[in-house]
Amino acid sequence: MTSHGKAQELAKAVGREMYSKDRTSQFLDIALDEIRPGYARMSLRIGEHMVNGHGMCHGGFIFMLADSAFAYSCNSHNHNAVASGCMIEFLAPAQVGDLLIAVAEERLLAGRSGIYDIDVTNQDGKHIAVFRGKSHRIQGETVKMQGE
């Protein structure tokens, strides 16, 4: 298997292991649609219980989806990483029934720090939010690969 193939298999194993312990994503039915090194795509269907006083999706749910995609992408290399900072810009409201998709992509990985951009769109491709996260690697790994 090539090093790219090994990295992809490792990212998938990390995604499976993280999701098995991710009670928040499980509770909200946030799906891990795809993971690969430095990348994750997650989705969330907006339900009636997720609206704010204006009848639109509460921004906290949009943030949570983006933050979750960020977490999976920055941990995809199997080096434990946590957020050291992030920001979000809300661009358009999400409505009940919308399927929100968060795509997280690694922009920079230098030493123990990383920068990740996350686009949140709806099922029609309309931009709902943009999120930028900064990660910091800590000790530990998510999975132990065979042969190590």
| Number of independent structural domains in the chain | 1
pLDDT tens, position by position, 88-100? 999 999 999 999 9
pLDDT at 146: 60
Cβ-contact 72, 20 below 8 angstroms: no
pLDDT confidence band for 106 (50 / 70 / 90): very high
| CATH number of the CATH domain containing 17 | 3.10.129.10
pLDDT confidence band for 144 (50 / 70 / 90): confident
In a domain, 145, yes or no: no
User: Can you read off the two tokens belonging to residue 120?
Assistant: 């949140």
- Cα 129 to Cα 148: distance, rounded to the nearest angstrom: 40
Domain extent, residue 131, equals 3-137
The residues near 60 (Cβ < 8 Å, ≥ 6 apart) are none
pLDDT tens, position by position, 19-57? 999 999 999 999 999 999 999 999 999 999 999 999 999
